Copies of this chain bind each other. A is one copy, B any other.
Amino acid sequence: MHDVAALAGVSHQTVSRVLNDFEGIRPETRERVLAAIEELGYRRNLAARALVTGQTQTIGMIGPVVPDIGPLSTLHALERSARAVGLHTMMTSTEPEPAAVRQALEFLLGRGIDALALAAQHREIIAAVEDLDPGIPVVHLLTGGTPAGASASIDQVEGARLAMQHLLDLGHTRIQHVAGPQSYTEARLRADAYRQIMAERGLESLPIVEGDWTADSGFHAADALVADATAVFCGNDQMAFGLLHHLTEKGIVVPRDMSLVGFDDTGEARHSVPPLTTVRQDFAAVGQLAVDLLAAQLGRGVAPAVQILEPEFVARYTTAAPRS
């Protein structure tokens, strides 16, 4: 910086002023400084800057340990959006145990982050972070529920309603739900919504089969379905794929003998055999929303009004009217 100042014939402070877009700099001076910066290939040292300002311009992200495409997509989009407004991101992951969460948080805090994006929907992780109180703005990602603080989510209840409505409209009454792990807020919200909607229609809720999001667990869930179920609302696409596989293997034809609705609309959903009817979640939009929220809290830009995005129903070929 001193070299730049010397070359431009000004003081280091003026260089700093130019860099930080301060007013009260004569255009010609600014040009000289900019030219000197260009010529020397000068790059501002962010460590020194962070030292004196106490801010790192960095958003810390806590993700799940299992590389799920959903949360990962959100985080990926968050990074892009953050970069667009000059913020950096730093990501780490944690197991859902208080000690591990604490360690992950300490890791990020130790590195210096100005805000935290929590993409771990596990209840224990959320609780642990709340407990630790990081002392910086926090936004919860994809929890889908009622936000304690700021949160960027997709409306899970509405998503479940879209899926269920479709099955009900087709005439199904014996609808079963294959849920994700109930330790995940989103899984619980979908399961609750399932029960709620069945009750609203005066229908009997069938036992909820709990999977672990993987296609494998969906495969095994097929064995746990009640005999007279005619449709299954799956907590995510992966489990739907596993279920579809097992049903097909058993000679149960989808959608003739059984209707199936997934959740997420992953890239493969369009090309399963048959293509999966599902509910689309725009994970990337959640990342963008989170950055808007955080940027506002960091004093840049204004907070968006909407914090809950709407899911979208995608009709394909795994649903049909029940056989009478």
Contact = CB atoms under 8 A, between A and B. Distances in A.
Given A47-B51, A48-B51, A91-B89, A270 B215 contact: yes
A92 B79 contact: yes
Contacts of A92: 79, 83
Contacts of A270: 215-216
Contacts of A80: 65, 93
B90 A43 contact: no
A80 B91 CA distance: 10
A73 interface: yes
A96 interface: no
Given A65-B80, A218-B271, A90 B93 contact: no
Contact of A271 (B43, B90, B242): B242
A91 B79 contact: yes
Most B CB atoms within 10 A — which of A67, A69, A89, A110? A67
A111 interface: yes
Copies in the complex: 2
A91 B93 contact: no
A111 B88 CA distance: 8
B88 A76 contact: no
Interface in A73-104: 73, 76-77, 79-80, 83, 88-93
Given A89-B90, A92-B79, A271 B110 contact: no
A267 B66 CA distance: 12
A38 to B, nearest CB: 13
Nearest to A218: B271
Given A215-B267, A268-B215, A93 B111 contact: no
A76 B244 CA distance: 29
Interface in A218-274: 218-219, 238, 241-242, 244-245, 248, 267-268, 270-273
Contact of A110 (B44, B58, B89): B44
8 contacts: A51-B51, A58-B111, A67-B72, A215-B268, A219-B271, A241-B268, A244-B271, A245-B273
Closest CB pairs A-B (n = 9) = A47-B50, A245-B271, A215-B271, A67-B73, A47-B51, A67-B76, A242-B271, A273-B273, A241-B271
